[in-house]
Structure 1
């Protein structure tokens, strides 16, 4: 069973990378205009339009925290001279925010569909991001099992 943690961590990291760069959602307005933003595109677009605070919050919870979480998991699984690294307490609080972006995008899709002004469809980036969150949670559980 020790082979599951490396495979899960690798799959989580790859899914996370795809979730950042692939389109999350396709929003069509008036049957003519369509947007397919990626997560990194959303953050850079908000920054460019002057919504710096929102861009920072989304970057923090969408890019920085998940990256830190994967890094801590890699350290917990493979780091340290003794082969054992303690997972900090703040890491557990960080785990609570794993699916925040997926829920927010789902709310945007729901709002677009119910408003009648636009239609929205999920794209692969959202699925990769969600898979990354689930795989990271699985890797965390496997790391805890290996290093109680």
Structure 2
């Protein structure tokens, strides 16, 4: 019997390897910064400034009675990325070459929504900056949120690739 046949699954390299682990860790670190730090700042009449984080925006919407909009933004800005982080971490724990199954399919589906929020916020900034007495500027929260989404997207791609059928163990 060969050494490869005697090697337990737990000794095989995790799906995605060290690069996926680093990207996953960065995504997990950047996400809370992205949702709690201000995403945008508005300036009215060159004097009055307001900053908004994603969590504060959801809270304001709920406070104003906009339950549906607040729930949609919370689901896609907060819920979907957290679910994706958990799923990607669970997939990363599997050895490379093991089947990904339904979890890998769901990670790929969630991946399609990864940058949706960032694009919407960027579009709002462009629209609101178009003129008038209100100026809008991006803030660090937007960049941390975008970095988190990109890190999770790259990590999940590496991990799902390693779990693809027929992929040999490296």
TM-score (norm 1): 0.91
SS of 1:115's partner is coil
Structure 2: where are the runs of 5+ without partners? Answer: 1-15, 165-170
CA RMSD across the alignment? 1.9
Partner of residue 78, structure 1: 93
The question of 1:56 aligning with 2:71 is answered yes
In the alignment, which residue of structure 2 is the partner of 1:92?
Answer: 108
Distance in 2 between residues matched to 1:145 and 1:79, nearest whole Å: 12
8 Å contact 2:100–2:160 — kept in the other structure? Answer: no
Question: Superposed, which structure 2 residues align to 1:1-148 within 5 Å?
Answer: 2-78=17-93, 85-86=100-101, 87-148=103-164
For 1:79 and 1:128, how far apart are their aligned partners in 2? 28
Deviations along 1:60-112, whole A, 9 cap, x unmatched?
000000100010000001159xx765324333222111111111111111111
- Per-residue deviation at 1:14? 0.7
Runs of at least 4 residues off by over 6 Å: none
User: Could you tell me the TM-score, scaled by structure 2's length?
Assistant: 0.80
Name the count of aligned residue pairs. Answer: 147
